[in-house]
């Protein structure tokens, strides 16, 4: 190669970076690219997170209320007008079925005006929060519940309106409803209630609601309803059976006027408690019955401002009005009848209204608010298929008082029980079950009681029944074996059963000393013949042998008296040559051994705390000197609790006694397993592994630099 060409190549090479410089430059560019990509990933992740958050934070669109008012002429329904609905401009949908005679108001928060007369119709408010105006409505129908209002419905009354139910109830309020306006509504039933309420309802404006029943109560409501009657509004209830019938805790806030009349019964009947509050007037009229009817053990609380008027057209009545709080004392006054005045103390005051008189009671303290309480219910004492439930345990959310058995209802479902007495205190109560006739579910409910408002719905509780085959009755006889009076001790008691049996264990047999004294050993045998080993007989005479029920057998005939024999020679007391008063540690692999100064051939049994040890739970061997070594197996010792025990080894001519202690595993130092070094080894191994990884990473990083 010419020198000029070589010089040109050297110049070109000099202009190029070295290999090491190129590598460093490539690494720098790659690092910058990774940083830029990481930033892009972070920004993209943040954008996605913000988008998801916004989507989750935006609530779903709420159901829109109807915007227009639709007017329905009830007299024009049917025929060509059947199954028609409002046009789109009103946005309040409805339909009429000429076959079922049902007018359905089906738009959420719809606006409807009803007028006209229809002799065979049922109006159903099928959605929530509808606004319905009745202006001159006249419905007489044999269909059940001619008018049904849904939850949170508002009914505005204009003019006179009537609903007559020939079948059942006239007006039904399926939820919390409001009635207002300036008109009147007369709801009449010929067979049941004029008005049936399932929840709280309010009457406002100057509206008047008149509920009438010619066969039952004017108004019926269950649960714990609140009835609000505004100033200027009126609620009138008249019924043959009574004016109103309330179950549960009833509260009437009356700032207007309420009149409850029973034409052949009480004006105001309730099964629990009633709070009569507000600043208006409440009148109760009874004919041939008390104006106020109690379901038993109930009371009336009347507020400071309300006026309660009792009109008695029967034989006279007496009531207890209770003070709910000691914070205030108010004057009690009964006018137009026996005059009662003075400060109310902590006891109830008795008010008597004579026949034909009208009493007005004012100024009674407002009762305290009831305490809400919940409960759970579970069966006790039973096991599915093997043992009958003995009770139902109620656990309340707080300590309660005043709960009676009559406040608790247990209704059979797939299971069937017979209920007994109620016991318990604080936050627990137990209803005894005197019989379980069918395994399965029962329903348990608790009504409001005392000052407690029970908010828990009916509970379903599984109850159990012993469905096993009934046991077989057997009898037995008992005689000693192996002994001769005055010379040879009895070695056992033979039990002979009337039928072949199985499942008899040592714990089923009890020997009670009488004039004789013997120590029970193991029970062995099969079929009809079983033997109770006697480890020793210290006194000749009678002992009593009893056998408890076992397996599928019911032992009848009572205990037996058996004569046992004792040897004329005194029993030998053998020495414990090794292992006396020993200690065994839980978790040890080895058993607990003692050496007895007698040959193994003489050993007949072992007792721990006077309980025979099964032959499979110990071993007997001889040492070089011919002494017996008795070893309790570790598996048996693990079944014993921590503590001290008596240990006795029986020979055919005497016994040897000592004690032993079972200690917890953590006390072990030697022979009992001791403490393990495995955790220390594991920690050391992990530490070395971590240090090695760190050293490798440090060396690699230094090499890269």
Instruction: Answer yes or no: is 267 within a domain.
Output: no
Q: Which domain holds residue 497?
A: 472-564
DSSP for 385-452 reads BTB---EEEEEESS------GGGEEEEESSSEEEEEEEEEETTEEEEEEEEEEE-EEEEEEE--BTTE
Comparison of pLDDT for 68 and 364, the residue scoring more: 68
For residues 433 and 511, membership in a common domain is answered with no
* pLDDT tens column, 200-228: 899 999 999 999 999 899 898 887 788 99
For residues 446 and 483, membership in a common domain is answered with no
Per-residue confidence (pLDDT) for residue 671, from 0 to 100:
38
Residues 301-313 have a mean pLDDT of 63
pLDDT band of 323, cuts 50, 70, 90: very low
Instruction: Answer yes or no: is 178 within a domain.
Output: no
Cα–Cα distance, 340 to 325 (Å, whole number): 20
Instruction: Answer yes or no: is 52 within a domain.
Output: yes
Q: Which of 98-107, 227-236, 667-676 has the highest mean pLDDT?
A: 227-236
Residues 381-387 have a mean pLDDT of 92
Three-state secondary structure call for residue 456: coil
Torsion-angle region of residue 223: left (phi > 0), alpha (psi -120 to 50) or beta?
left
| Lowest-confidence region among 20-24, 39-43, 489-493, 629-633 | 39-43
Instruction: Answer yes or no: is 270 within a domain.
Output: no
Cα–Cα distance, 512 to 543 (Å, whole number): 6
Exposure string of 511-529, with b = 16+ CB inside 10 Å and e = fewer, is beeeebbbbbbbbeeeeee
Rounded to two decimals, what is the model's pTM?
0.43
For residues 556 and 597, membership in a common domain is answered with no
* CATH code of 585's domain: 2.60.40.10
pLDDT band of 343, cuts 50, 70, 90: very low
Q: Within its chain, how far is the Cα of 306 from the centroid?
A: 40
Comparison of pLDDT for 396 and 197, the residue scoring more: 396
Q: How far is CA 500 from CA 471, 554, 567, in A?
A: 14, 13, 33
Q: Kindly tell me if the per-residue pLDDT of 700 is higher than 80.
A: no
Residues 285-311 have a mean pLDDT of 65
For residues 553 and 626, membership in a common domain is answered with no
Per-residue confidence (pLDDT) for residue 176, from 0 to 100:
87
For residues 618 and 552, membership in a common domain is answered with no
Angle made by CA atoms 52, 56, 58, in degrees to the nearest 5: 120
Q: Would you say 581 and 551 are in contact if contact means Cβ atoms under 8 Å apart?
A: no
Residues 653-673 have a mean pLDDT of 74
Per-residue confidence (pLDDT) for residue 199, from 0 to 100:
85
- At which of 538, 564, 590 does a domain end? 564
Q: Quote the number of domains for the chain.
A: 4
Residue among 106, 89, 95, 88 nearest 72 (CA): 95
Residue among 166, 203, 158 nearest 188 (CA): 166
For residues 538 and 590, membership in a common domain is answered with no
For residues 457 and 481, membership in a common domain is answered with no
Q: Which of 107-121, 177-191, 256-270 has the highest mean pLDDT?
A: 177-191
Q: What kind and span of H or E run contains 375? A: strand 375-380
Q: Kindly tell me if the per-residue pLDDT of 15 is higher than 70.
A: no
Q: What kind and span of H or E run contains 681? A: helix 678-704
* pLDDT tens column, 502-556: 999 999 999 999 999 999 999 999 999 999 999 999 899 999 999 999 988 999 9
| Lowest-confidence region among 176-180, 226-230, 251-255, 319-323 | 319-323
Per-residue confidence (pLDDT) for residue 209, from 0 to 100:
96
Residues 251-258 have a mean pLDDT of 90
Instruction: Answer yes or no: is 284 within a domain.
Output: no
Per-residue confidence (pLDDT) for residue 158, from 0 to 100:
95
Q: Kindly tell me if the per-residue pLDDT of 598 is higher than 80.
A: yes
- At which of 463, 488, 516 does a domain end? 463
* pLDDT tens column, 68-123: 678 899 988 876 554 455 444 456 688 888 888 888 887 778 889 999 998 888 88
Angle made by CA atoms 149, 153, 154, in degrees to the nearest 5: 115
For the chain, what is the mean pLDDT?
A: 79
* 3-class SS string, 224-276: CCEEEECCCCEEEEEECCEEEEECCEEEEEECCEEEEEECCCCCEEECCEEEE
* CATH code of 519's domain: 2.60.40.1220
Q: Kindly tell me if the per-residue pLDDT of 628 is higher than 60.
A: yes
| Lowest-confidence region among 165-179, 205-219, 360-374, 556-570 | 360-374
Residues 251-277 have a mean pLDDT of 83
Cα–Cα distance, 482 to 624 (Å, whole number): 32
Per-residue confidence (pLDDT) for residue 160, from 0 to 100:
95
For residues 604 and 578, membership in a common domain is answered with yes
Instruction: Answer yes or no: is 159 within a domain.
Output: no
Three-state secondary structure call for residue 97: strand
The alpha carbons of the chain give a radius of gyration, in whole angstroms, of 46
Three-state secondary structure call for residue 598: coil
Q: Which of 67-81, 165-179, 333-347 has the highest mean pLDDT?
A: 165-179
Q: Kindly tell me if the per-residue pLDDT of 580 is higher than 60.
A: yes
Instruction: Answer yes or no: is 694 within a domain.
Output: no
For residues 445 and 491, membership in a common domain is answered with no
Comparison of pLDDT for 384 and 347, the residue scoring more: 384
Give the whole-number percent of the chain exceeding pLDDT 70.
Answer: 71
Per-residue confidence (pLDDT) for residue 86, from 0 to 100:
47
| Lowest-confidence region among 25-34, 304-313, 314-323, 582-591 | 314-323
Per-residue confidence (pLDDT) for residue 251, from 0 to 100:
86
Burial class (CB in 10 A: 0-12, 13-18, 19+), 397: middle
Residue among 103, 156, 106, 101 nearest 128 (CA): 106
pLDDT band of 320, cuts 50, 70, 90: very low
Instruction: Answer yes or no: is 645 within a domain.
Output: yes
- Tell me how long the chain is: 705
Per-residue confidence (pLDDT) for residue 69, from 0 to 100:
79
For residues 553 and 582, membership in a common domain is answered with no
Cα–Cα distance, 115 to 413 (Å, whole number): 47
Three-state secondary structure call for residue 74: helix
For residues 456 and 383, membership in a common domain is answered with yes
* CATH code of 454's domain: 2.60.40
| Lowest-confidence region among 402-411, 423-432, 498-507, 678-687 | 678-687
DSSP for 458-486 reads PEEEEE--B-SPPPEEE-EEEEEES-BTT
- At which of 432, 463, 494 does a domain end? 463
């Amino acid at each position: 190669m010419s020198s000029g060409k070589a010089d040109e190549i050297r110049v070109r090479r000099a202009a190029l970076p070295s290999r090491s410089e190129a590598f460093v430059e490539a690494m720098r560019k790659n690092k910058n690219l990774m940083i830029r990509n990481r930033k892009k990933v972070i920004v993209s992740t943040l954008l996605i997170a913000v988008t998801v958050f916004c989507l989750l934070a935006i609530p779903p669109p709420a159901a829109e209320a109807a915007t227009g008012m639709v007017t329905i002429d009830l007299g024009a329904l049917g025929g060509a007008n059947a199954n028609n609905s409002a046009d789109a401009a009103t946005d309040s949908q409805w339909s009429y079925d000429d076959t079922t005679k049902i007018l359905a108001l089906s738009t959420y928060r719809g606006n409807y005006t009803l007028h006209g007369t229809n002799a065979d119709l049922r109006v159903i408010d099928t959605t929530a929060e509808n606004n319905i105006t009745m202006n001159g409505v006249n419905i007489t129908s044999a269909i059940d519940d001619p008018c049904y209002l849904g939850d949170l419905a508002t009914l505005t009354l204009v003019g006179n309106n009537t609903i007559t139910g020939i079948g059942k109830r006239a007006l039904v309020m399926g939820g919390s409803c409001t009635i207002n306006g300036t008109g009147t509504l007369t709801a009449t039933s010929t067979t049941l209630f004029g008005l049936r309420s399932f929840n709280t309802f309010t009457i406002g404006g100057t509206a008047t609601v008149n509920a009438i029943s010619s066969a039952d109560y004017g108004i019926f409501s269950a649960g714990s309803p609140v009835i609000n009657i505004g100033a200027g509004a009126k609620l009138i209830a008249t019924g043959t059976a009574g004016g109103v019938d309330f179950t549960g805790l009833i509260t009437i806030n009356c700032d207007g006027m309420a009149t409850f009349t029973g034409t052949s019964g009480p004006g105001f009947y309730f099964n629990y408690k009633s709070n009569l509050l507000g600043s208006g007037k409440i009148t109760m009229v009874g004919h041939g019955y008390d104006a106020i009817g109690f379901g038993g053990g109930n009371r009336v609380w009347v507020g400071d401002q309300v006026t309660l008027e009792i009109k008695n057209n029967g034989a006279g009545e007496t009531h207890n009005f209770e003070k709910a709080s000691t914070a205030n004392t108010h004057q009690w006054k009964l006018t137009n009848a026996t005059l009662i005045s003075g400060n109310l103390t902590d006891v109830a005051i008795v008010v008597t209204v004579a026949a034909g008189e009208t009493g007005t009671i004012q100024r009674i303290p407002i009762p305290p608010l009831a305490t809400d309480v919940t409960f759970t219910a579970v069966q006790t004492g039973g096991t599915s298929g093997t043992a009958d439930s003995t009770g139902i345990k109620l656990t309340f959310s707080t300590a309660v008082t005043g709960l009676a058995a009559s406040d608790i209802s247990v209704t059979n479902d797939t299971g069937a029980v017979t209920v007994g007495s109620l016991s318990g205190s604080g936050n627990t109560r137990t209803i005894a079950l005197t019989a379980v006739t069918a395994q399965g579910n029962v329903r348990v409910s608790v009504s409001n009681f005392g000052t407690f408002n029970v908010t828990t719905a009916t509970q379903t509780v599984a109850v159990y029944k012993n469905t096993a085959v009934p046991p077989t009755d057997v009898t037995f006889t008992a005689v000693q074996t192996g002994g001769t009076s005055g010379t040879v001790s009895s070695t056992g008691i033979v039990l002979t059963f009337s039928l072949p049996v199985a499942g008899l264990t040592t714990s089923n047999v009890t020997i009670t000393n009488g004039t004789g004294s013997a120590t029970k050993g193991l029970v062995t045998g099969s079929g009809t013949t079983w033997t109770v080993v006697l480890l020793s007989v210290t006194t000749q005479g009678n002992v009593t042998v009893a056998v408890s029920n076992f397996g599928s057998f019911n032992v009848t005939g009572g205990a037996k008296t058996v004569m046992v024999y004792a040897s004329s020679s005194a029993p030998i007391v053998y020495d414990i040559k090794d292992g006396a008063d020993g200690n065994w540690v839980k978790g040890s692999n080895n058993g607990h051994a003692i050496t007895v100064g007698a040959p193994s051939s003489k050993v007949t049994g072992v007792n721990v705390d006077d309980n025979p040890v099964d032959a499979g739970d110990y071993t007997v061997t001889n040492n070089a000197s011919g002494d017996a070594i008795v070893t309790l197996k570790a598996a048996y010792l693990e079944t014993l609790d921590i503590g001290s025990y008596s240990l006795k080894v029986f020979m055919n001519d005497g016994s040897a006694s000592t004690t032993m202690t079972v200690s917890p595993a953590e006390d072990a130092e030697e022979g009992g397993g001791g403490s393990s070094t495995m955790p220390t080894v594991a920690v050391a191994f992990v530490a070395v592994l971590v240090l090695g990884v760190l050293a490798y990473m440090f060396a690699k990083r230094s090499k890269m630099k």
